[in-house]
Amino acid sequence: MKFFNRDLSWLTFNYRVLEEAKDKSLPIYERIKFLAIFSSNLDEFYKVRISNYKNLISLSQKNQKKLKFSPNEILKEIKKIVIEQQKEFGEIFRNDILTELERNKIILLNNKSDINDFHKKFITQFFSLEVLPYIQAVLLDKNNILQFLQDKSIYIVVKLFKKSKKNKKKIKRNFYASIKIPSDNIPRFIKLPKKDDNFHIIFLDDIIKLNLDILFPGFNISEFYSIKLSRDADFSLEEEYKGNLLEKIKKAVAKRKIGLPCRFLYDNKMPEIFLKELKLAFRISDTDLIEGGTYHNFSDFFNFPNPLSPKLELEKLKQIRHYELDKFSSIFKAIKKNEYLLHFPYHSYEYVIRFFNEGAIDPKVTEIKTTQYRVAKNSAVVSALISAAKNGKKVTVFVEIKARFDEKNNLFFLEKMKKAGIKIIPSLPFIKVHSKMAIINRGRKEKYAFLSTGNFNEKTAKLYVDDGFFTKNKKLIFELDKVFEFFENPKLNFKFKHIFVGKFQMREKILKKINNEITNVKNNKKSFIILKMNGLEDEKIIKKLYQASQKGVKIDLLVRGICCLIPNEEFSKNIRIIRIVDRYLEHSRIFIFHNDGKNDTYISSADLMKRNLSKRVEIVVPIYNKKLKDEILQILKIQLSDNTKARILDENLNNCKIKIPKNEKRIQSQMKIYDFLQEINI
């Protein structure tokens, strides 16, 4: 059987993000946001994934032959695709975005613009007063590295000559210098004083470029360009057994800033001789070179000022109240009465905060247990847990410090919670805990749980599509308690009847569910599978889906990102893959197996990736409540009917638009789901 390469597949997802920046039906600031997302995604991709291939290339020829692919060939293909995407990115920005901004009287100036004297005076003063204190210009010497390029920072590199009045015919020696753009101290975009009907904005980069003569007195400026270096940020401590894991993580996070180069972005207008000098000065290899445009770090466009806000933006949807939960003065009284599903960001996250806050102050609550993977910087959840501890409750929090790029934040909250008297279970040395669950004990007999497909993070809950589940089901909570026992004693082994747990036969249980559909179709029973996730990579699962397809099981896959399953082949003819990119990030994981009409339904913290099934503690939770099962199925059917923001992934990794017949209405699933949830809330 064949499989797509996971990273080439991911690049097609990021291209789908770029397509949204081209969508002229979107307000201009939404399109700018998608440029920022594309750029941010690509940065992380290079920092995490490229080093993996470089490590494989460093293997001996004998060991390389054991691989199912050529790391060199994959790297070449990645570079080719990225260069093409970057080129299109630049064309969208220059030809579409800037033009549309100008139509709305928002002018993004650059150093070559016709800047009037009024603005020139402001720019010079701003540079001298606000920018100059943070500027450090460094002359480069190809024989000695005099400056270390920081990860993600933008630099202006300058070619210059010493001024000479005596002998003008003498061949002048050229020098090279670099300047770090201080965008960590000063906003990247500066609004200029209003003088006419237009709003003028300028890059911080260009304010510096317009004042280079101040930085280099005694030199003539020949040419200048922007560069950016991304460094390897991938480190894995899951397999570490010895030593202090917390200290190892702290050291690894610090080393991330000085990781090996993995991408050197440079202005494609830069002459070869200039680039050669930079390669020597910064020890950059050809494999790290990626052509870019005049500007880098487009992730900064998340903060691009909109002087006409809220115009030129999508109207924000008012979050939906859950009328059944609102009937009760206490969240515990509500859960005691029934089970509830919340669908974020359509529903308010306030109910989750209420769950933790009530747990903190209710006199009958004796204990709270929860997991922490990525929380908001000013986390309301953590504040509630600290309040609970101060109120005499027993509070236990498993903190997964190895959440990539959130290690510092998690270490900070770990110390804060520990000082408040909370019992902390830190990262386990051999596995990553990715499950999202909380249990509140209210007296001896009452136990309530909240399970989620996404993090306990009130900020991302406004941006990510996730599902949350309140339950008092004793059988489920009994097994969730066993997971917490495992956190405290990883040598324990459990058999789970209801929930699926990573490291505890999760893969085997999912394979069993698929096998059951194969058996049913053989017996001429209706059979289908709907799986929604962020990534599908596990070869055993994919092979079983291929087998189910060959036997006649109808399979719909909603896969946002990585998808290694190849559709439209003889062995996958009954499999359809849909990718949805819209105003919210699709993040929920839902698995439905028809099971002869029973519609076995699960929500999950896990994608069907090898790492999630083998090296993480993940939770897959069954939904037994028929009303809630029907609700989930209806939502997935709406997504499967999307003909506006959905794309069909084909056998060549293309995101294919869905043709809409003349008589059919346009369906944008996220908007239709919002309407659906409002309707059932009446």
Give me the torsion for CA of 60, 61, 63, 69, rounded to 10°: 130
- The per-residue pLDDT for range 385-440, each reduced to its tens digit, is 999 999 999 999 998 887 677 688 888 888 999 999 999 998 887 788 899 999 99
Average pLDDT for 124-132: 96
Evaluate if residue 581 carries a pLDDT over 90.
Answer: yes
Give the C-alpha distances (Å, rounded to integers) separating 289 from 273, 572, 584, 630. Answer: 14, 38, 33, 51
Evaluate if residue 459 carries a pLDDT over 60.
Answer: yes
User: Between 305 and 615, where is the model more confident?
Assistant: 305
What does the pLDDT read at residue 54?
A: 78
Strand order in the sheet with 261-267: 137-139, 174-180, 154-162, 219-231, 261-267, 289-292
What does the pLDDT read at residue 169?
A: 56
Evaluate if residue 111 carries a pLDDT over 90.
Answer: no
Q: From CA 453, how far away is CA 464, in angstroms rounded? A: 10
Cβ atoms of residues 212 and 183 within 8 Å: no
What does the pLDDT read at residue 241?
A: 41
Average pLDDT for 323-330: 94
What does the pLDDT read at residue 171?
A: 57
Q: From CA 348, how far away is CA 60, in angstroms rounded? A: 54
Those residues whose C-beta lies under 8 Å from the C-beta of residue 297, and which sit 6 or more positions away, are: 39, 152, 154, 183, 188, 228
What does the pLDDT read at residue 237?
A: 47
SS3 17: helix
Q: From CA 75, how far away is CA 254, in angstroms rounded? A: 27
Q: From CA 262, how far away is CA 289, in angstroms rounded? A: 9
The H-or-E segment that residue 158 falls in is strand 154-162
Going by pLDDT thresholds of 50, 70 and 90, the confidence category of residue 166 is low
Evaluate if residue 377 carries a pLDDT over 50.
Answer: yes
Half-sphere exposure of 640 (CA within 13 A, CB side): 16
Ranges of beta strands (E only) in 345-473 are 365-372, 394-399, 423-425, 432-433, 437-442, 446-452, 464-471
Q: From CA 454, how far away is CA 353, in angstroms rounded? A: 14
- The per-residue pLDDT for range 238-291, each reduced to its tens digit, is 444 444 655 655 555 555 555 677 889 999 999 999 999 898 888 888 888 988
Classify domain 323-488 at the CATH class level: alpha beta
The H-or-E segment that residue 602 falls in is strand 600-604
Using the structure block, give the residue that is written with the tokens 């008012």. Answer: 318
- Comparing CA positions, the residue from 669, 658, 659, 654 lying closest to residue 567 is 654
Return the DSSP state at 652. Answer: T
Domain borders along the chain are 6-303, 323-488, 500-680
Those residues whose C-beta lies under 8 Å from the C-beta of residue 77, and which sit 6 or more positions away, are: 8
What does the pLDDT read at residue 62?
A: 57
Give the C-alpha distances (Å, rounded to integers) separating 464 from 87, 410, 460, 558, 630. Answer: 29, 20, 6, 15, 22
Classify the C-alpha dihedral 337-338-343-344 as positive or negative: positive
**pTM higher than 0.85 for the full model?**
yes
Q: From CA 604, how far away is CA 467, in angstroms rounded? A: 9
Q: From CA 6, how far away is CA 561, in angstroms rounded? A: 9
Give yes or no: 434 in active site: yes
* Token pair recorded at residue 237: 């401590």
SS3 345: coil
What does the pLDDT read at residue 247?
A: 62
Any alpha helices (H) in 567-681, and if so which ranges? 610-614, 626-640, 669-680
Active site residue: 200, 322, 434, 594, which one? 434
With a pLDDT cut of 90, the percent of the chain lying above it is 72
Half-sphere exposure of 500 (CA within 13 A, CB side): 27
b/e 192-230 (16+ beta carbons within 10 angstroms → b): beeeeeebbbbbbbbbbbbbbeebbeebeeeebbbbbbb
- Which of 164-178, 347-361, 497-511 is the least confident region? 164-178
- Comparing CA positions, the residue from 374, 653, 642, 406 lying closest to residue 532 is 642
Angle at 299 between CA 296 and CA 303, to 5 degrees: 115
Evaluate if residue 60 carries a pLDDT over 80.
Answer: no
Those residues whose C-beta lies under 8 Å from the C-beta of residue 673, and which sit 6 or more positions away, are: 343, 346, 635, 638, 639
- Which of 60-64, 151-155, 380-384, 644-648 is the least confident region? 60-64
What does the pLDDT read at residue 250?
A: 57
Q: From CA 366, how far away is CA 445, in angstroms rounded? A: 11
**Same topology for domains 323-488 and 500-680, yes or no?**
yes
* Token pair recorded at residue 54: 């470089």
Give me the torsion for CA of 403, 407, 413, 418, rounded to 10°: 90
pLDDT, mean over the chain: 91
Classify domain 6-303 at the CATH class level: alpha beta
User: Between 63 and 221, where is the model more confident?
Assistant: 221
Evaluate if residue 195 carries a pLDDT over 90.
Answer: no
**Check whether domain 500-680 has CATH 3.30.870.10, yes or no:** yes
Q: From CA 362, how far away is CA 96, in angstroms rounded? A: 56
- The per-residue pLDDT for range 17-57, each reduced to its tens digit, is 999 999 999 999 999 999 999 999 999 898 888 877 877 77
- The per-residue pLDDT for range 583-606, each reduced to its tens digit, is 999 999 999 999 999 999 999 999
What does the pLDDT read at residue 47?
A: 84
Length of the chain: 682
How do the residues of the chain divide into helix, strand and coil, expressed in percent and rounded to 5? 40, 25, 35
The DSSP string of 244-285 is -HHHHHHHHHHHHTTPPEEEEEEETTS-HHHHHHHHHHHT--
